[in-house]
A and B are shown apart, each in its own frame.
Chain A
Amino acid sequence: MTGVRLVAGRELRVQATSKGFLIGLVVTALVVMGAIAGPRLLGSPDTYKVGVTGQAGQALKPALAPQASATGVTVKTVPYADEAAARTAVAGGDADAAIVDGPRVLTDGDLDPRLAAVVQGANRTVQSRARLAAAGIDATKVDRALRVAPLATVSVTGDTRYDGARKGIAVIVVIALFMLLMSSAMGVAMGVVEEKSSRIVEILLIAVRPWQLLAGKIAAFGVLGLAQLAVIAAAGLGAAAATGATPDLPPGTAGIILGAAVGYLLGYLFFAAASAALGALVSRQEELSSALSPMTLLMMAVYGVGFWALADPHSTANQVLSMVPPFSSMVMPVRAAATDVPMWQFGVAVAGMLAAAGAVLFLGARVYERAILRTGARVRLLDALRASA
């Protein structure tokens, strides 16, 4: 066990202190924070400034605040001496709109739809009250008669309030899983070739068994991947908290993150074992990408299917794919984020992925063990599988 720990410890130290890794981590965190905080920061504001002048302005002013609070925004009124002053303020951006005699509303281009609803609603209230009064009808009685509780909404297909947020999280999950799986599997393969091409393995394998070397390497990159996932989750949740978006997060967010972590771990074991075996076949870094191409192609396919599943997570095809390894490693976390998944499907996905990862680990360790000391020409995969050690 000391051998495994030493190998993993070295790998962790080297990677965690490498500039490339740290910069990548910071950039990833910033991108996730931007993706979550961006829409809140760039979206329409919650507070409007409305200029008022003349009789129309004075008349509408008291009706603006209740109308605004009903729409879920805040409106501040600013009095102006005359229409010319109000016009200058709107043109200069000091006010979002101004109510002047006519009654008219002055705007700079189009009126923001939410502000339009507030202003028009206030105008309708004031005008209709005036007409009711003119017709001798008690406005307060009419108000009371018109005050009706809204219909209660009941979704028959389940809670859809969070659909948008869940889909957004699912997008982040699939992209993050792909990036992490790719970078950590590549890291394992590059480490394997570095040691093989430089003959470091010849010195190491005198002291440790090949499986120990392989296990240490896979463990280290797995831990790094999980740490990156934790940073992404923390960045996302932090950004949501900072921009006040936390209440918009769906109730099962913790479960979604956990599902992504499990998907990553199982997918990682599968792909890392495959890339270690394929990497062990070659003796030079230049040959690595062609040796890894079966693994890269499969991972791209898994990613493609995962992204495709975003569009319709309920479809039968995606339900099936979310239980078929290695697609399950990405499709299941995506479905878990985008929709509610029955527990038994989770169980099947995890069991299947565990079995697949175990099989690839077993075969991968065999290939690695037999190919790692055979330097020179590229070792054929079938030879390495068949050869009796």
Chain B
Amino acid sequence: MLRIDGLTKRFGATTALGDVGFAVRPGEMFGFVGANGAGKTTTMRIVMGVLAADAGTVTWRDTPVTAAVRRRFGYMPEERGLYQKMRVADQITYFGRHYGLAPRAARRAADVWIERLELTAHRTDHVQALSLGNQQRVQLAVALAHDPEVLVLDEPFSGLDPIGVDALAGVLAEKRDAGVPIIFSSHQLDLVERLSDSVGIIAAGRIVASGPVDDVRARAAGSLLRVRVRDAAPGWAGRLPGRVVRTLDGGGDLLVAADDDQALLRAAQAEGRLEHFGWERPALSEIFREVVA
């Protein structure tokens, strides 16, 4: 299990991370979501040792993650890091060598991933001649070439077209099925919901919700009510004692976060004929909007 515990990081006066902790089991895909600047990248950089934490620990299989352990991790940084004037196959081989592969094994790994990620036509192209999506595939090949035990991917899907997303998702699912824990961050919440086994939502440097997707949704279910009132007077949403998170079904249904559900029930009844009133299992994106707001 990859366990992140009590990570704290300050940059001058600002606290980037305050007691961030979560765990990713082998064979689990962990979607890491949060607004820009919430602390996703900082957390991942600390996991990869690119940044030192002020406090907290990162352990893999119950031992602290050291430089030697990290060489068995695969990492995709947020801004893509490739040599622009190096050929695709050479590039993958080069990084594979750094991550401990023997010369021949590194070349073989490059061949395997070039084929698997459909880069065969670009094998000997310089990276700078590739489209952004293809550069992304090379970056992924670099992260995967040494057959890592753990994958840490910062925004792996950004800039990919739907076909690229499917290809990447397919590769990641394969790795997960092989028992690799995967942390990935993304702003595409529907994608995170579709791919992740568990999620962590971070806001202002703190984890506000984490765990298996179903658990997070179920937990959030105690906070959101779906309300439908037939023939309500215009502006009824504003008169309800609670915050309207979203309107559903073309404006007929409201998703409301209320501290006092009974007060909300009475107010809804007063607005007209109450057709539906019940707890809602919100989508991840709704929870996200709720906690980030």
Contact = CB atoms under 8 A, between A and B. Distances in A.
A194 B83 contact: yes
Contacts of A207: 70-71, 95, 98-100
Interface in B145-187: none
B75 A198 contact: no
Interface in A177-205: 194-195, 198-205
A206 B81 contact: no
Interface size class of B (residues with CB under 8 A): 20 to 34
Contacts of A208: 98
Q: Which secondary structure characterizes the binding site on chain A?
A: helix
A241 interface: no
A73 interface: no
A203 B142 contact: yes
Contacts of B71: 206-207
Contacts of B83: 14, 194, 198, 200
A201 B81 contact: yes
A194 B50 CA distance: 17
7 contacts: A2-B97, A6-B98, A14-B86, A198-B83, A200-B81, A206-B75, A207-B99
Contact of A203 (B67, B77, B84, B86): B77
Contacts of B50: 202, 205-206, 373
Contacts of B67: 206, 209
Contacts of B100: 207
A198 B67 CA distance: 22
A204 B98 contact: yes
Contacts, number: 63
Contacts of B97: 2, 6
B80 interface: yes
Nearest to B94: A10
A358 interface: no
Interface string B113-148: 000000000000000000000000000001000000
Interface of B: 45, 48-51, 67, 70-71, 73, 75, 77-86, 94-95, 97-100, 142
Contact of A3 (B70, B73, B79, B98): B98
Contacts of A201: 81
Interface size class of A (residues with CB under 8 A): 20 to 34
Given A14-B86, A373-B50, A373-B51, A202 B99 contact: no
B267 to A, nearest CB: 49
Nearest to A194: B83
B247 to A, nearest CB: 40
A117 B92 CA distance: 74
A199 B81 contact: yes
A201 B142 CA distance: 13
Nearest to B78: A199
Contacts of A195: 81
Contacts of B75: 202-203, 206
A200 B82 contact: yes
A193 B203 CA distance: 32
A14 B83 CA distance: 10
A376 to B, nearest CB: 10
Contact of B49 (A14, A194, A199, A206): A206
A199 B41 CA distance: 13
A6 B106 CA distance: 13
Contact of B73 (A6, A14, A206): A206
A198 B94 contact: no
Contact of A199 (B51, B73, B79, B84): B79
Q: Which of B70, B73, B95 has most A Cβ within 10 Å? A: B95
A202 B82 contact: no
A283 B257 CA distance: 45
B41 to A, nearest CB: 11
Contacts of A203: 75, 77, 81, 95, 142
A209 B95 CA distance: 14
Contacts of A198: 79-84
A10 B87 CA distance: 12
Given A199-B80, A200-B83, A209-B67, 20 more contacts: A2-B97, A3-B98, A6-B97, A10-B86, A10-B94, A14-B85, A14-B86, A194-B84, A195-B81, A198-B81, A198-B82, A198-B83, A203-B77, A203-B81, A205-B50, A206-B50, A206-B70, A207-B70, A207-B98, A208-B98
A209 B99 CA distance: 12
Nearest to A200: B81
Contact of B45 (A3, A10, A202): A202
Contacts of B86: 10, 14
A155 B243 CA distance: 104
Interface string A1-20: 01100100010001000100
Nearest to B103: A6
Contact of B77 (A3, A18, A202): A202
Contacts of B77: 199, 202-203
